[in-house]
A = this chain, B = another copy of it.
Amino acid sequence: MSLKHAILGFLNISPLSGYDLWKMFNSTVNNYWTATNTQIYRTLSELAEENMVWYEVIQQEGVPNKKLYHLTQEGKEELISWLRTPLELPSIRHKLLVQISFSNLLEDEEIIAILETYMKNIKEKLNSYKHGNQEEYLSFASSERERFLWKMVLKNGIGFYEFELKWLKESIEEFKKMEKIKT
């Protein structure tokens, strides 16, 4: 499970509550893994049982109390050993490609509408990426080396969406060209 290790990784940088972690997993810049609050709270309980993390309850006024989670030595060792394990290529799950594969059943306009809607979504995502709080996020890096690594991750995110955008643009153009020839 990568969620476990992602949580251990965040806690290694600083102690956090479940709520903090949830915000992290939902911020644009940490966009390599997503998780719902349900999943995070459950996983934190599991990690606590396995002695990978421990928590202190922070009394707060006005806002609810919170559990601040810390990494244990065991957790840190588990994290490092996972970081060292080489990864297989992940299996791809791309719903849009499934739709396109079988969309010969649809009319031209319908196909174009699907592609354009998707393109709009990607453009928005790219925008929130580029005009988001990248610099702020990078400023939390503890060293030039860490900063470099985080930048590398950001570049992958942006690059991926740019690739998708380019592919969509070209595909739509070609599709429209084909349409014209036909008529």
Contact = CB atoms under 8 A, between A and B. Distances in A.
A83 B12 CA distance: 44
B83 A99 contact: yes
A28 B32 CA distance: 24
Interface stretch (A15-23, A46-54, A55-63, A152-160): A152-160
Interface of A: 2, 5-6, 9, 12-13, 30-34, 79-80, 82-84, 86-106, 110-111, 113-114, 117-118, 121-122, 125, 142-146, 148-150, 152-153, 155-157, 159-160, 163-164, 167, 171, 174-175, 178
B106 A80 contact: yes
Specify the main secondary structure of chain A where it touches its partner.
helix
A48 to B, nearest CB: 20
A16 B48 CA distance: 48
Nearest to A145: B104
A118 B178 contact: no
B86 A117 contact: yes
A9 B102 contact: yes
A5 B98 contact: yes
Nearest to A93: B33
17 contacts: A13-B102, A32-B94, A34-B92, A83-B99, A83-B103, A83-B110, A86-B114, A87-B96, A87-B114, A87-B118, A89-B121, A89-B122, A92-B157, A100-B153, A104-B146, A104-B149, A156-B167
Given A142-B104, A167-B155, A99 B79 contact: no
